[in-house]
Amino acid sequence: MNRESITKKIIEELDKDSPMWSYEDALKKWWMVPRLNGGFRLTDIGDLAFRYAKIEYYNYDFTVDSTSGWHSYILDLNKKLKCPYYIGVNKVNDSKKPFIRLYDSKIAIMVSLYGSINEYIKSVKVRQ
């Protein structure tokens, strides 16, 4: 599936009590990278829309590999995760714990089998 068809499906799932977005607005505001091949990372607004649509999700804690860095990690996620996902931070006591929210049960099962999102991402081969 591509972002355009996913966006249309989510808009269809929103009920009348949810904020309403036009298709064009949703494409611009829900996805972190607006280019068509920009990956499936959701913005805060996109994540909210998916939750309003009551789409099942799975949260996983993660840490970024210090050798590769944040930007390289995000590029890897954009290339290798083929489902909508959201990156957020939970405050626990006085520390921050990053998490990734996956909107795909098959990928979530694979992450669980590999033990972490990082191990799953390492295992994924990118097809050109």
What is the reported pLDDT for 18? Answer: 81
- Which of 55, 74, 99 terminates a domain? The answer is 55
- Number of domains present in the structure of the chain: 2
Query: Same domain for 40 and 11?
Result: yes
Residue 69 has pLDDT above 90, yes or no: no
At 66, the pLDDT band (50, 70, 90 cuts) reads low
What is the reported pLDDT for 127? Answer: 63
Query: Same domain for 63 and 120?
Result: yes
Q: Comparing 11-15, 25-29, 89-93, 108-112, which segment has the lowest mean pLDDT?
A: 89-93
Query: Same domain for 122 and 76?
Result: yes
What is the reported pLDDT for 93? Answer: 82
Task: Name the residue range of residue 10's domain.
Answer: 1-55
What is the reported pLDDT for 71? Answer: 87
Tell me the pTM: 0.90
Long-range contacts, stretch 97-102, CB < 8 angstroms, 24+ apart = 97/61, 98/61, 98/62, 98/63, 98/64, 99/59, 99/60, 99/61, 99/62, 100/59, 100/60, 100/62, 101/47, 101/57, 101/58, 101/59, 102/57, 102/58, 102/59, 102/60
